Amino acid sequence: MKTPLLILALAAATLSTAAAQTQTAPTPAPAAPAGYQEMLGATIQEVMSTGDAAVLKELAGKLERAATVAPQDWLPRYYQSYALLIATFQGKEDGDVKDRQLDQAEAALQQARRLRGDESELLVLQAYIYQARLGVAPVTRSMQYAGKVNEALADARKLNPANPRIYLVQGNNLYFTPKMFGGGAEVARPVYEEAKARFAAFRPATPNAPGWGERQLLGRLAAYQQPAGPPQAASK
Amino acid sequence: MKLPLLLLLLLTALRLAAQPTTLSGTVRDAAGQPLPGANVFLKTTFDGATADSLGRFRFTTRQTGALPLLVTLMGYQPQEQPVVLDGQPHRFTLTLKEVRNQLGDVTITAGAFEASDEKRSTVLTARDIVTTAGALADVNGALNTLPGTSRVGEEGKLFVRGGAAGETRQYLDGLPLQSPYSASVAGVPARGRFSPNLFRGTVFSTGGYSAEYGQALSAVVGLNSYDLAPETQTGISLLSVGLSLSHQQRLARSSVAVTGDYTNLQPYYGVVPQRFGWTTAPQAAGGSVALRRQVGRAGLVKVYGAATRAALTLRQPDPGFDGGRPVALRNGNQYLNATFRSPLRRGWSLQTGLAGTGDEQHIRPDVQRVHELEQSLAGRAVLTNDSAGAYWNLKLGAEGLRQRYRQQYQAEAAAPVLRSGFDETRVAAFAESEVAFSNELVARAGGRAEYSRVLGRWNAAPRLALAYQLGEGTQLSGAWGYFYQTPANDLLRFGQYNRALRFERAAHYLVTYQRIQQDRTLRLEAYYKDYAQLTRYAAPALTGDVPLPPDPASYQSTGRGHARGVDVFWRDKQTVKNLDYWVSYGLVDTRRQQRQDPVPAVPTFASRHNLAVVGKYWVSRLHTLVGGTFSYGSPRRYHDPNQAGYNQGRTPGFQDLSLNLSYLTSIRRNLTIVHVSCSNVLGRDNVFGYRYAPAPDATGHYPGVALTPSAPRMLFVGLLISINKKRPADTETAPE
| Pairwise CB contact (< 8 Å): A1 & B733 | yes
Contacts of A69 in chain B (CB under 8 A): 44-46
More confident position, A95 or B66: B66
Tens-digit pLDDT profile for residues B185-211:
888 899 999 888 888 878 889 999 999
Residue B116 confidence (pLDDT) above 70 = no
DSSP string, chain A: -HHHHHHHHHHHHHH---HHHHS----PPPS--TTHHHHHHHHHHHHHT---HHHHHHHHHHHHHHHHHSTT-SHHHHHHHHHHHHHHHH----HHHHHHHHHHHHHHHHHHHHTT--HHHHHHHHHHHHHHHHHHSHHHHHHHHHHHHHHHHHHHHHH-TT-HHHHHHHHHHHHTS-GGGT-SHHHHHHHHHHHHHHHHH---SSTTS--TTHHHHHHHHHHHHSTTS-HHHHH-
CB contact under 8 A, A181 and B727: no
Torsional class of B533: left (φ above 0), alpha (ψ -120 to 50), beta (otherwise): left
CATH number at residue A84: 1.25.40
Q: What is the per-residue burial (b if ≥16 Cβ within 10 Å, else e) of B500-537?
A: ebbbbbbbbbbbbbbbbeebebebebebbbebbbbbbb
| A39 touches B at CB < 8 Å | yes
Instruction: Report the percent of chain B where pLDDT is more than 70.
Output: 91
Judge whether A184 is closer than 8 Å to chain B, CB to CB.
no
pLDDT at B6: 52
Mean pLDDT, residues B293-322: 91
Report pLDDT for B623.
Answer: 86
B87 CB-near residues (< 8 Å, 6+ apart):
B16, B17, B18, B19, B20, B21
The whole-angstrom distance between A199's CA and the closest CA on chain B is 26
Q: Is B572 helix (H, G, I), strand (E, B) or coil?
A: strand
Q: From the CA of B37, how many Å to the nearest CA of chain A?
A: 8
Contact B733 A136 (CB under 8 A): no
* Minimal-distance CA residue of chain B relative to A34: B45
Q: Quick one: pLDDT at residue B150?
A: 93
Measured between beta carbons, which residues in chain B are less than 8 angstroms from residue A95? Answer: 120, 518-519
The b-or-e profile of A199-216 (16+ CB within 10 A means b, else e) is beebebebbbbbbbbbbb
- How far is B230 from chain A, CA to nearest CA, in Å? 7
pLDDT-derived band at B633, boundaries 50, 70, 90? very high
Per-residue pLDDT tens digits for B568-587: 999 998 888 889 899 999 99
Q: Hey, are the CB atoms on A140 and B127 less than 8 Å from each other?
A: yes
A28-32 own/partner pairs: CB under 8 Å, 24+ apart:
A29/A206, A30/A70, A30/A72, A30/A73, A31/A70, A31/A72, A32/A69, A32/A70, A32/A73
CATH architecture of the domain B18-96 equals Sandwich (2.60)
Q: Which residues of A73-90 are buried (b: 16+ CB within 10 A; e: fewer)?
A: bbbbbbbbbbbbbbbbbb
pLDDT of B78 > 50? The answer is yes
CA distances to B12, B121, B729 from B114, in Å: 70, 10, 29
CA B84 to chain centre: 60
Contact A141 B70 (CB under 8 A): no
* Fold match flag (B18-96 vs B112-723): no
The confidence score (pLDDT) of residue B436 equals 85
For residue A9, pLDDT beyond 80 = no
**Lowest-confidence region among A216-230, B337-351, B384-398, B667-681:** A216-230
Q: Is A64 on the interface with B (CB under 8 A)?
A: yes
Percent of chain B with pLDDT over 90: 57
In a domain, A41, yes or no: no
Q: List Cα–Cα distances, B282 to B122, B253, B367, in angstroms.
A: 36, 40, 20
Are B510 and B566 in contact by the 8 Å Cβ rule? The answer is no
Residues of chain A with Cβ-Cβ distance to B519 below 8 Å are 94-95
Report d(CA B696, CA B686) in Å as an integer. 26
Tell me, which fold does domain B112-723 have in CATH?
Answer: Maltoporin; Chain A (2.40.170)
Q: Provide the pLDDT confidence category of residue A18 given band limits of 50, 70 and 90.
A: very low
Summarised one tens digit per residue, pLDDT across range B502-520 is: 999 999 999 999 988 877 8
Taking the Cβ of residue A34 and every Cβ of chain B, the question of whether any pair is shorter than 8 Å is answered with no
| pLDDT of res. A151 | 85
pLDDT tens readout for residues A173-221:
778 665 655 667 888 899 999 999 999 999 888 889 999 988 889 888 8
Do A139 and B473 lie within an 8 Å CB cutoff? no
Q: How close A77 comes to chain B (CA, Å)?
A: 14
Contact A61 B49 (CB under 8 A): yes
pLDDT above 70 for A22: no
> Cβ contact (<8 Å) for B731 and A178?
yes
CB B393 within 8 A of CB B383: no
Least confident range of A74-88, B104-118, B152-166, B280-294:
B104-118
Average pLDDT over residues B165-189: 92
State the nearest Cα–Cα gap between A60 and chain B, in angstroms.
9
CB within 8 Å of B389: residues ≥ 6 apart: none
Task: For residue A23, tell me if it sits in a domain.
Answer: no
Cα–Cα distances (Å) from B630 to A185, B656, B689, in that order, read 43, 6, 21
Number of domains composing chain A: 1
Contacts of B39 in chain A (CB under 8 A): 61, 64-65
Q: Do B70 and A68 touch (CB under 8 A)?
A: yes
- Residues of chain B with a CB closer than 8 angstroms to some CB in chain A: 37, 39, 41, 43-50, 70, 72, 74, 117-118, 120-121, 125, 127, 230-231, 473, 518-519, 618, 666, 669, 671, 726-734, 736
pLDDT tens for B402-424 read 999 999 999 888 989 999 999 99
Nearest CA in chain B to A58: B50
Predicted confidence at residue B4, as pLDDT, reads 56
Kindly report whether the global pTM for this prediction surpasses the value 0.90.
Answer: no
- The answer, yes or no, to whether residue A6 has pLDDT greater than 60, is no
pLDDT of residue B709 exceeding 50, the answer is: yes
Q: Could you state, in order of their start, the residue ranges of all structural domains in chain B?
A: 18-96, 112-723
Q: Considering only alpha carbons, which residue of chain B is nearest residue A108?
A: B74
Is residue B281 scored above 50 in pLDDT? yes
So what's the pLDDT on residue B45?
86
Inform me whether the C-beta atom of residue A142 falls under 8 Å from chain B C-beta atoms. yes
Q: Does residue B696 register a pLDDT over 50?
A: yes
> pLDDT by residue (tens digit) across B249-258?
988 889 999 9
Q: Is A1 on the interface with B (CB under 8 A)?
A: yes
Does A99 fall in a domain?
A: yes
Tell me whether residues A136 and B120 touch, CB distance under 8 A: yes
ipTM beyond 0.90? no
Q: How far apart are CA B385 and CA B461, in angstroms?
A: 22
- Which domain, by its residues, includes A209? 2-17+49-229
Shortest CA gap B660–chain A (Å):
18
Instruction: State whether residue B469 is helix, strand or coil.
Output: strand
3-state SS, residue B226 = coil
Q: What is the nearest CA distance from A109 to chain B, expressed in angstroms?
A: 14
Average confidence (pLDDT) over B95-100:
82
Residue A182 to residue B121, Cβ atoms within 8 A: no
Q: Is B283 left (phi over 0), alpha (psi -120 to 50) or beta?
A: beta
- Say yes or no for a CB contact (<8 Å) between B518 and A94: yes
Q: Using the beta-carbon criterion (under 8 Å), do A68 and B44 form an inter-chain contact?
A: yes
Q: Which of B199, B205, B190 is nearest to B149 (CA)?
A: B205
Who's near B177: CB < 8 A, 6+ residues apart? B169, B170, B171, B193, B355, B357
Calculate the alpha carbon distances from B394 to A215, B62, B349 in Å. Answer: 54, 53, 11
User: What pLDDT score was predicted for residue B362?
Assistant: 96
Chain A residues near residue B729 by CB distance under 8 angstroms: 181-182
Please tell me the predicted confidence (pLDDT) of residue A149: 85
Answer yes or no: is pLDDT of B459 > 60.
yes
pLDDT(A24) > 90: no
Q: What is the mean pLDDT of residues B259-268?
A: 93
Q: Give the other-Cβ count within 10 Å of B669's Cβ.
A: 14
**Looking at residue B120, what is its pLDDT?**
46
Minimal-distance CA residue of chain A relative to B116: A140
**pLDDT tens-digit map of B360-396:** 999 999 899 999 999 999 999 999 998 777 788 899 9
Q: Are residues B519 and A181, on separate chains, in Cβ contact within 8 Å? A: no
Q: Do A141 and B726 touch (CB under 8 A)?
A: no
Residue B516 · residue B121 · CB < 8 Å? yes
Type of residue found at A102:
L
| Mean pLDDT, residues B79-102 taken together | 85
Q: What is the mean pLDDT of chain B?
A: 88
Query: Judged by CB atoms within 8 Å, which residues 150-169 of A form the interface with B?
Result: 150
What pLDDT shows up at residue B59? 92
Query: Of B563, B706, B434, B559, which Cα lies nearest the Cα of B163?
Result: B563
* pLDDT tens per residue, range B26-54: 999 888 899 988 999 998 888 899 899 89
